[in-house]
Amino acid sequence: DAGVTQSPTHLIKTRGQQVTLRCSPKSGHDTVSWYQQALGQGPQFIFQYYEEEERQRGNFPDRFSGHQFPNYSSELNVNALLLGDSALYLCASSQSRYEQYFGPGTRLTVT
């Protein structure tokens, strides 16, 4: 059983560009959450998707948007990239609120 997978592994973008990150949840999981983790910090909640709708959102600007597909996979889109968006982006899937399985993350570098 594959766990949570994310692509790409690494990404380098220029300020002002747009980026799309992808996540496939663990089999049987219907909820996907996205986090931003800066170096030396804990994961910061961006938003959560359930049944193809954004269920909850953290304190992130509208430049951060997402989508969940019928197969529960998800995308995170970030527009107008800033240097401060450089971070590890983690996707986590769950079947309930009791346990989240994290993917390996996408390391985004904005230059």
Partner 1 sequence: QQPVQSPQAVILREGEDAVINCSSSKALYSVHWYRQKHGEAPVFLMILLKGGEQKGHDKISASFNEKKQQSSLYLTASQLSYSGTYFCGTERLGTGGSYIPTFGRGTSLIVHP
Q: How far is the CB of 104 from partner 1 (least distance, A)?
A: 5
Query: What part of residues 56-75 is at the interface with partner 1 (CB under 8 A)?
Result: 56-58
Q: Pick one of 13, 73, 95, 101: the residue that binds partner 1 (CB under 8 A).
A: 101
CA–CA distance, 90 with 77 (Å, rounded to integer): 13
Q: How far is the CB of 97 from partner 1 (least distance, A)?
A: 6
Q: How far is the CB of 83 from partner 1 (least distance, A)?
A: 21
The residues of the shown chain that bind partner 1, judged by CB under 8 A, are 4, 33, 40-45, 48, 50, 55-58, 90, 97-105
